[in-house]
Amino acid sequence: MDCRAKPGNDRKFTMADARRAPLKDQTDISGARALIVEARFYDDLQDALLDGAVTELKAAGLTHDVITVPGALEIPAAVAITIDAAAANGQPYDAVIALGCVIRGDTIHFEIVSQESSRALMDLAVARKLPLGNGILTVNTEAQAWARARASELNKGGDAARAALAMLRIKRRLARA
């Protein structure tokens, strides 16, 4: 979406504005299986993120499993372990959603956790051609996390699921072409 200033448009966007245009690809993905890997570091926030993701998956007709890990750094390894085990058992996952929250503290740990978890997820998605939605919040305050976790606000759990679903539609459409 082009957010540059236009005549008569004095609206200023911030990075947190929900401005993603709806995607038009309606490739059938019903019956697909999704994996949600969640970091249960902040239980209440995680409940909100998980609710947003599950709502989107159900609306799209997907079944899902949830794997819980202690923190965001463990998410990529859990994704790799779980998708390999599922494939070996003849029940592969079609998409993955990563959910968690990293809130800035007084040390550089925030940067390490946020950057390394994102990097590892991107590496997995590209190397394995895996439709993946990254819903790991990286915020400065708990208030920012809540604004992003709640479905009534930015609904980043739902956003992560929609991203994974969009990538799955692309993968399915191109596989059929």
pLDDT at 19: 52
Question: Would you say 159 and 132 are in contact if contact means Cβ atoms under 8 Å apart?
Answer: no
Give the β-pairing of 95-103 and 132-139. Answer: parallel
Residue with tokens 């929250």, as numbered in its chain:
101
**Maximum pairwise Cα distance, the chain:** 58
Residue 67 lies in a domain: yes
Residue 13 lies in a domain: no
Q: What is the mean pLDDT of residues 62-91?
A: 97
101 or 8, higher pLDDT: 101
Q: What is the mean pLDDT of residues 41-62?
A: 94
The rounded percent of the chain whose pLDDT value lies above 70 is: 87
134 or 12, higher pLDDT: 134
Q: What's 163's domain CATH number?
A: 3.40.50.960
Kindly provide the residue ranges of all beta strands, DSSP E only, lying in the chain, ordered along the sequence.
33-39, 63-69, 95-103, 132-139
Say how many domains are in the chain. Answer: 1
Cα end-to-end span (Å), the chain: 28
Residue 3 lies in a domain: no
Q: How many CB atoms lie within 10 A of CB 70?
A: 12
Q: What is the mean pLDDT of residues 148-163?
A: 93
Q: What is the mean pLDDT of residues 35-48?
A: 94
Q: What is the mean pLDDT of residues 5-24?
A: 51
* Mean predicted lDDT score pLDDT of the chain: 89
- The Cα 93–Cα 79 span in angstroms is 10
Task: Check if 109 is active-site.
Answer: yes
The whole domain housing 111 covers 33-176
* Helix (H/G/I), strand (E/B), else coil: 102: strand
Catalytic-role residue among 109, 112, 126, 153? 109
Question: Would you say 98 and 60 are in contact if contact means Cβ atoms under 8 Å apart?
Answer: no
pLDDT bucket at 84, cuts 50 / 70 / 90: very high
Residue 99 backbone phi and psi in degrees, to 5: -130, 135
Residue with tokens 């697909």, as numbered in its chain:
32
